Amino acid sequence: MGRYRCRLHKMPSVHIKTYGCQMNERDSDQVAKMLSERGYRIAADEADADVILLNTCSVRDMAEQKAIGKMGMLRKLRRARPHLVLGYLGCMAQARGASLLETSPHVDLVAGTQKFHRVADYVDDLLQKRMESRIDDERLPIVDIDEEEGSQETIRDQTLAPAQCTAFVSIMQGCNMHCAFCIVPQTRGGERARSIEDIVAEVRSLASRGIREVTLLGQIVNLYGRHEFPKREGLSPFVQLIEAVAAVDGIDRIRFTSPHPIGFRADLIQAFSRIEKLVEHVHLPLQSGSDRILKIMRRGYTAEGFRKLVAQLREARPGIAITTDIIVGFPGETDEDYESSRALADEVGFDNAFVFRYSPRQNTPAATMGEQLSEDTKEARNQDLLDVVNRHVAEKLNALVGSEVEILCEGPSRNKVERLSGRTRTNKIVVFEGSARHVGQIFPVRIERASSSTLYGDPAVLG
């Protein structure tokens, strides 16, 4: 990379754009840290970058199309700056591999989900080759989507922003569930867990740098370590991990996402009643309230089993917030099936929900099923179910008006930077007036009003 630096008279800069879930955000952060350690400058603006990497998502077709469309737009930058390096990372890269070079022939790098730790090496090589090449079209793209043993251990270092007080911690990769609609087992591979000792070491490092809340990440996070590590004293590896993280000084709150209903055994349910640092919020994907559809989806539980689990969690931790994911318009979903989902959502009264229109994913069983529903039907059900969800969200937020809640102040509000924002233990956003000294602190705020998605606190409580 020495020649490249000499010709540019500056350190190379990299812009990373991330699509999709928190795990993708964590992966992007790891890539950024590795590149920074080699002297690269992380650019906030793609127009200021020598390297542009898109970390992609394959959960829904729209996410893939956004990334492909964005890469198409970047071709204009390539024409103006011939030595610009462009790359796809992550789930879509893993799923599509070299075929992406057909839709995006100007791309230099396609790196899959088990190759994030290789990206810095590949970028070095590509920059060197670009600068040595006399003809712009003389390109040799790098495509690497091979499996790599031990890749779950490579997402372990983080770059923290000033005053950052929350962090994601990747504890595993992959999924063995093979739900009929999901492409994740193909893009992330089978379940592979990091060791408890390694995770706790990362959490200790984060705590020493001011982190007070960690979110444990995994494709099915509550099945962590079930194949690698033994139960101890009746506790699953995941509960052992939660206990170990809770013992770290400086960590005040622990969250996890995303779990699967079948991973909630008695020990995990009981953990909510005995581990104070484990916050009272669970994201519990329902996907459908119809037993017939759940079976076709290969989810492994029934609507009644889901109801019982919700009741057990609410008994273990009164006031626990439960959020969910629901898919509408799954192949073959009848009006009766949809009404079962609607009724169950209304009965449970989720604190929030992500409602998705079914999107066929290539090479998944659901994509080739008969009775694919029209987009109009999907959209109608999506909007109707959102109305049910939003009614319960509003009721729960309005019920907090006049009460005092504990928040962790995370920094300026996204929409009004002159105000501060924090989250309750139940993961509700609270906006209030304060000063820089409040960032990173945990304190009570009195709620004075609520909007459809946000709580607003009384600044007088801050003193």
Separation between Cα atoms, residue 368 and residue 101, nearest integer Å? 26
Which CATH number does the domain 2-144 belong to among 3.40.50.2300, 3.40.190.80, 3.40.50.300, 3.40.50.1860?
3.40.50.2300
Q: Where in the chain is the domain with CATH 2.40.50?
A: 404-462
3-state secondary structure 79-137: HHCCCCEEEEEEHHHHHHHHHHHHHCCCCCEEECCCCHHHHHHHHHHHHHHHHHCCCCC
7 has pLDDT over 50: no
**pLDDT value at position 175?**
95
Query: Does the domain formed by 149-279 have CATH 1.10.357.140?
Result: no
Bridge-partner residues for 446, per DSSP? 404, 458
Q: Is the dihedral of CA 332, 335, 336, 340 positive or negative?
A: positive
458 has pLDDT over 60: yes
Closest CA to 406 of 461, 463, 349, 350: 461
Identify the weakest region by mean pLDDT among 43-47, 213-217, 293-297.
43-47
**pLDDT value at position 460?**
54
pLDDT, averaged across the chain: 93
Q: Where in the chain is the domain with CATH 3.40.50.2300?
A: 2-144
Confidence bin at 449 (pLDDT 50/70/90): very high
Separation between Cα atoms, residue 41 and residue 11, nearest integer Å? 7
Extract the tokens encoding 23. Answer: 């795990």
Confidence bin at 133 (pLDDT 50/70/90): low
Average pLDDT over residues 305-322: 98
Within 10 angstroms of residue 386's Cβ, the number of other Cβ atoms is 17
Average pLDDT over residues 40-66: 93
Closest CA to 325 of 341, 339, 314, 309: 341
For residue 368, the 8-state DSSP code is: G
Which CATH number does the domain 404-462 belong to among 2.30.29, 2.40.50, 2.60.40, 3.30.40?
2.40.50
Q: Report the percentage of the chain scoring pLDDT > 70.
A: 95
Q: Where in the chain is the domain with CATH 3.30.750.210?
A: 149-279
pLDDT digits (tens, 9 = 90+) for 389-408: 999 999 999 999 999 999 99
What is the pTM (predicted TM-score) of this model?
Answer: 0.91
Confidence bin at 6 (pLDDT 50/70/90): very low
Closest CA to 390 of 349, 335, 431: 349
Q: Which residue has the higher pLDDT, 243 or 76?
A: 243
Confidence bin at 139 (pLDDT 50/70/90): low
**pLDDT value at position 4?**
44
Q: Which helix (H) or strand (E) holds 391?
A: helix 375-398
169 has pLDDT over 60: yes
Confidence bin at 128 (pLDDT 50/70/90): confident
DSSP 3-state of 52 = strand
Closest CA to 218 of 179, 257, 246: 257
pLDDT digits (tens, 9 = 90+) for 214-270: 999 999 999 999 999 999 999 999 999 999 999 999 999 999 999 999 999 999 999
Average pLDDT over residues 409-425: 91
Identify the weakest region by mean pLDDT among 118-132, 279-293, 300-314, 341-355.
118-132
Q: Which helix (H) or strand (E) holds 344?
A: helix 335-348
Average pLDDT over residues 182-203: 95
237 to each of 189, 196, 221, 230, 269, how far by Cα in Å? 20, 8, 11, 7, 14
Using alpha carbons only, what angle is made at residue 170 by residues 173 and 201, rounded to the nearest 5 degrees? 125
**pLDDT value at position 328?**
98
380 has pLDDT over 50: yes
Confidence bin at 461 (pLDDT 50/70/90): low
**pLDDT value at position 3?**
41
**pLDDT value at position 158?**
85
**pLDDT value at position 34?**
96
Q: Report the percentage of the chain scoring pLDDT > 90.
A: 85
Q: Which helix (H) or strand (E) holds 36?
A: helix 22-37
